Chain A
Amino acid sequence: MTTPSQTVGPFFGFALPYADDWALVPEGHPGAVLITGRVLDGAGEPVPDAVLELWTGETGTRGALARGGPGASGFGRCATEPDGSYRFRAAPPAGPYYSLTVFARGLLRQVLTRIYLEDRPDPLLDSLPPGRRATLIARPDDAGAHRFDVRLQGEGETVFLAF
């Protein structure tokens, strides 16, 4: 029988983060994608104690834990800042989307979603009403990054997935 989930709690910060955890590719990696955003709660307030994990769909040649060296890793992790913000620098995803999980104090299980870098025909996107579809699509920002906010609850609530 499956082991039940429990919250990551508020005190993971000395254990789960590691050096360059957010940098799946080194600085200057050709074609690198910068993803930034914030995690927001049901009152629209930032969630300063969440930790996000990004999975591109392929392992790659760079260490997932021990960064260093060239190449790309498929896995990254980023704890949110006091303003709820996070960032990843990654290679483009193997398919049309990144997989993203969010853990936080107050989340008794993680939530699982997808980041699409552009709107496109897609079985999941096409199954959603327009307002909900938009929650899965990153928006380019002025700095050349892709902006993707996670709204855990309420207006503009991000689409979360169950497999």
Chain B
Amino acid sequence: MTHPPYLSPGYRSTVLRAPSLPPVEMKADPEAAELTSPVFGPTEIGPLDADLTAGRPGEPIGERIIVTGRIVDSGGRPVPGTLVEIWQANAAGRYAHQLDRHPAPLDPNFSGAGRCLTDDEGRYRFVTIKPGAYPWRNHHNAWRPAHIHFSVFGTAFTERLVTQMYFPGDPLFPYDPIFCSVPGQEARDRLVAAFDLDVTEPEWALGYRFDVVLGHTPMEDR
């Protein structure tokens, strides 16, 4: 088991949105459109898109961090040139989103969204600010552990992955039904970045490593 079950009642929004029928298992078909994937060109991405601390008049408030890692397929092969998009709350736990009502300050110097293409060895690298935890209304006193949302393409539409990266040692893990929807501690640990002193840059930013392994299909390992 890798992915969470669609129906995870602890996360209330799944109750009316989880499909009730199992997905139809597709027969092997090398012609299937789902086995190909869009290609994104380097000219479609801006040079500052991977630096979430740039592009504003001032520096955002918070703990500057570097988040880097490799995107590999299920065979361990790097996925070059694939699109990685991230979004997150600011250091105070507030999203730059009009529906976020958390009474924490917005930061005029932080949008919280970035993107890049992986290099020839499947590596991506973002400079950002460590996000804060934030409350949500799923249950009484519900708080999301600090996380960065990730969206990754891969080489087939079936590999498409949206996930969340967490930070090591977060005390909110056992209380978070989204994190805990992943079956088993070993699989949950794959969503937790590792602090890495080699990625850390002296006098400037802490470094975290988060590798992503794409599966063949969003619905494998049910």
Binding site for B on A (CB under 8 A): 1-16, 41-43, 45, 47, 53, 55-59, 63-66, 73-75, 93-95, 97-99, 101, 103-112, 123-124, 127-128, 152-154, 157-163
Contact = CB atoms under 8 A, between A and B. Distances in A.
B4 A97 contact: no
A108 B178 contact: yes
A42 B16 contact: yes
A132 to B, nearest CB: 8
Contacts of B14: 106-108
Interface in B170-205: 178-179, 181-182, 186-188, 190-191
A162 B2 contact: no
Nearest to A152: B17
B4 A6 contact: yes
A103 B162 CA distance: 8
B19 A160 contact: yes
A4 B4 contact: yes
Given A1-B2, A63-B41, A101 B157 contact: yes
Given A3-B213, A13-B97, A109 B33 contact: no
A3 B17 contact: no
30 contacts: A2-B2, A2-B74, A2-B214, A3-B211, A3-B214, A3-B215, A5-B162, A6-B162, A6-B163, A6-B181, A14-B113, A15-B87, A16-B85, A16-B87, A41-B17, A55-B36, A63-B43, A66-B41, A66-B44, A93-B33, A106-B13, A108-B4, A108-B14, A109-B3, A112-B157, A112-B219, A152-B18, A157-B21, A161-B26, A163-B158
A152 B23 CA distance: 12
B160 interface: yes
A1 B53 CA distance: 32
A162 B17 contact: no
A10 B212 contact: no
Contacts of A12: 87, 149
B20 interface: yes
Given A59-B39, A66-B43, A108 B181 contact: yes
B60 to A, nearest CB: 15
Nearest to B188: A4
B17 A42 contact: yes
